[in-house]
Chain A
Amino acid sequence: MITTIAATLTDAGEASTGEAVLFWVFAPVMVLASMGLLLARKAVHAALSVITVMICLAFLYVAQDAPFLGVVQVVVYTGAIMMLFLFVLMLVGVDASDSLVETIKGQRWVAVLGGMGLLVVLAGVVMTVAPSTPTGLDGANTPTNPEALAVVIFGSYAFALEVVGALLVTAALGALVLTHRERLVPKRDQKTRMQARVQALGDGALLTPLAAPGVYARHNAMDVPALGPDGEPLELSVNRVLKVRGQEADAAEYAARIDRVLAGGWADDELPAIEAAKDATSEEADQ
Chain B
Amino acid sequence: MSAENLVGADFSNDVHWWVPALKGVFILVLVLTSVIMAIWFERKVVAKMQLRPGPNVHGPAGLLQTTADAVKLLVKEDISVKAADRLVYLIAPVIAVFSSFLTLAVIPMAGEVSVFGFRTPLQMTDFPVAVLYILACTSVGVYGMVLGGWSSGSTYPLLGSVRSTAQVISYELAMGLSLVSVFVMAGSMSTSQIVEAQERSLWYVVTLPVAFILYVVAMIGEVNRLPFDLPEAEGELVAGYMTEYSAMKFAWFYLAEYINMINVSAVATTLFLGGWHTPFPLNLLGVPDSGYWGFLWFLVKLWSIMFFFVWVRGTLLRFRYDQFMNLGWKLLIPTALVWLFGVTTIRVVNEFTDVPSQTVLIGLAVVLLVFAALSFLIPEKKEPPGAEVGEFDPYADGYPVPPMPGQVLPPSPRRLAAMAAAGVVVDICDVPTEEADRD
A74 & B139 in contact (Cβ 8 Å cutoff)? yes
Q: In the complex, what residue of chain A is closest to B320 when comparing beta carbons?
A: A190
How far is A143 from B187 in the complex, measured between Cα atoms in Å?
13
Of A68, A74, A90, A202, the contact of B165 (CB 8 Å cutoff): A90
Interchain CB contact under 8 A, A87 and B140:
no
Within 8 Å of chain B (Cβ to Cβ): is A79?
A: yes
Query: Bound complex: CA of A90 vs CA of B158, how far in Å?
Result: 8
**B143 sits at the interface (CB 8 A):** yes
State which residues 127-177 of B face A: CB under 8 Å.
127-129, 132-133, 135-136, 139-140, 142-143, 146-147, 150, 153, 158, 161-162, 165-166, 168-169, 172, 176
Chain A residues whose C-beta falls within 8 Å of the C-beta of B3 in the assembled complex: 67, 141, 144-145
Residues of B within 8 A of A37 (CB): none
Q: How far is the CB of A275 from chain B (nearest CB, A)?
A: 38
Complex: how many Å from CA A45 to CA B162?
16
Among B3, B153, B166: residue with most chain A CB under 10 A: B3
Interface SS of chain B: helix
Report the count of interface residues on A (CB-CB < 8 A).
36
Given contacts A71-B132, A145-B129, A201-B399, contact A91 B140 (CB under 8 A): no
CB distance from A77 to the nearest CB of B (A): 10
Q: In the bound complex, do residue B166 and residue A87 qualify as a contact, i.e. CB atoms below 8 Å apart? A: yes
Of all chain A residues, which has the CB nearest B397? Answer: A199
* Contact in complex: A90, B139 (CB < 8 Å): no
Query: How far is A277 from B158 in the complex, measured between Cα atoms in Å?
Result: 44
Interface assignment of B2: CB less than 8 Å from any CB of chain A: yes
Decide: A67 and B129 in contact? CB cutoff 8 A.
Answer: yes
From A68, A71, A90, give the contact of B162 (CB < 8 A): A90
A75→B99 CA distance, assembly (Å): 13
> A87 and B399: CB pair below 8 A?
no
A259 within 8 A of B: no
CA distance A146 to B184 in the complex (A): 13
Q: How far is the CA of A48 from the CA of B128 in the complex (A)?
A: 29
Of A68, A79, A86, the residue contacting B128 (CB under 8 A) is A68
**Known contacts A138-B2, A202-B399; is A75 also within 8 Å of B128 by CB?**
no
B88 on interface, CB distance cutoff 8 Å: yes
B146 touches A86 (CB 8 A): yes
Q: Could you tell me if B168 and A83 are in contact, using CB atoms closer than 8 angstroms?
A: yes
Complex interface: chain B residues within 8 A of A94 (CB): 150, 153, 158
* Assembled-state Cα–Cα distance A201/B133 (Å): 57
Q: Are B135 and A145 in contact (CB under 8 A)?
A: no
Q: Say yes or no: is A80 at the interface (Cβ < 8 Å to chain B).
A: yes
Q: In residues 182-233 of chain A, which contact B (Cβ within 8 Å)?
A: 190, 198-199, 201-202
| Cβ contact within 8 Å between A74 and B140 | yes
Residues of B within 8 A of A141 (CB): 2-3
A199 CB contacts on chain B under 8 angstroms: 397, 399
Q: Check B140–A202 contact: CB distance below 8 A.
A: no
Bound complex: CA A86 to CA B150 (Å)? 10
| Number of B interface residues in the complex (CB < 8 A) | 34
Measured CB to CB, the nearest residue on chain B to A93 is: B158
B262 at the interface (CB under 8 A from A): no
Q: Which of A44, A55, A83 contacts B88 (CB 8 A)?
A: A44
A58 to B135, CA, bound (A): 14
Which of A42, A87, A146 lies in contact with B189, CB distance below 8 A? A146
Question: Cβ of B287 < 8 Å from any Cβ of A?
Answer: no
Do B128 and A145 touch (CB < 8 A)?
yes
Complex CA distance for A74 and B320, rounded to whole angstroms: 30
Chain B residues contacting A45 (CB-CB under 8 Å) are 88
- Expressed in whole angstroms, the Cα–Cα distance for A45 and B88 within the complex equals 9
Alpha-carbon distance A51/B143, docked complex (angstroms): 10
Rounded to whole Å, the gap between the CB of A100 and the closest CB of chain B is 22
Q: Indicate if the CB atoms of A55 and B140 lie closer than 8 Å.
A: yes
- A22 → chain B, closest Cβ, in Å? 14
A48 to B85, CA, bound (A): 13
- B140 and A79 contact, CB distance less than 8 A: yes
Kindly identify, within residues 55 to 96 of chain A, every residue whose CB is under 8 Å from any CB belonging to chain B: 55, 58, 65, 67-68, 71-72, 74-75, 78-80, 83-84, 86-87, 90-91, 94
B161 with A83: CB separation less than 8 A: no
B270 to chain A, nearest CB (A): 17
Give bound CA distance, A90 to B157, whole Å.
Answer: 11
A90 partner residues in chain B, CB cutoff 8 A: 146, 150, 158, 161-162, 165
Interface check B6, CB cutoff 8 A:
yes
Provide the bound-state CA to CA distance between A78 and B141, in Å: 11
Distance of A54 from chain B, by nearest CB (Å): 10
